Amino acid sequence: MSPYVVLRVVSKLLIPLIFLYGFYVHFHGEYSPGGGFAAGVVVGVGVILYALIFGLQAARKAVPPYWARIGMALGALIFAGVGFISLFMGGNYLDYTVLDPNRTYLGQHIGIVAVEFGVLVSVTAVIIAIFYAFAGRERPAGEAED
């Protein structure tokens, strides 16, 4: 029997709640402290917790490293894409009011949530990629393990 049974059981309950909280922080970011960056950190930490409890190989199987690379580019593309959509609709770059000219408040809301989602995707992917890079490195020969 594994000595980490309690950690594994508790983390199986806790990790989905961490992701849920990350999305809560994202979707309430324009009303309260938070937003895409804070939400991305929370979601990234959920993946790191999974890796620490279940092992790096299990985490790499659940969230492959190439997803992190794709996520970094996709998040930046979403962010820039919202700006270019604003330009193509006749406004300034990241001028959200043109997204719904009849109800500018709705255009603002759509634009903010979309841009913050791009930030969430990028930050989550960067945090996971940095963790994979540090956790997967080999120790030099002769270096003592702490």
Assess if residue 140 is contained within a domain. Answer: no
Amino acid at residue number 64: P
Q: What is the pLDDT of residues 16-69, one digit of tens each?
A: 999 999 999 988 877 777 788 999 999 999 999 999 999 999 999 999 999 999
Assess if residue 41 is contained within a domain. Answer: yes
**Host domain of residue 31:** 5-135
Closest CA to 38 of 123, 110, 126: 123
Assess if residue 142 is contained within a domain. Answer: no
Closest CA to 119 of 34, 48, 57: 34
Assess if residue 144 is contained within a domain. Answer: no
- Round to whole Å and give the CA distance between 85 and 77: 12
Assess if residue 146 is contained within a domain. Answer: no
Assess if residue 141 is contained within a domain. Answer: no
Q: What is the pLDDT of residues 72-88, one digit of tens each?
A: 999 999 999 999 999 99
| Cα within 13 Å of Cα(71), Cβ side | 22
Number of domains in the chain: 1
Assess if residue 96 is contained within a domain. Answer: yes
Q: What SS3 class is residue 44?
A: helix
Question: How many C-beta neighbours within 10 Å does residue 16 have?
Answer: 11
H or E element at residue 96: none
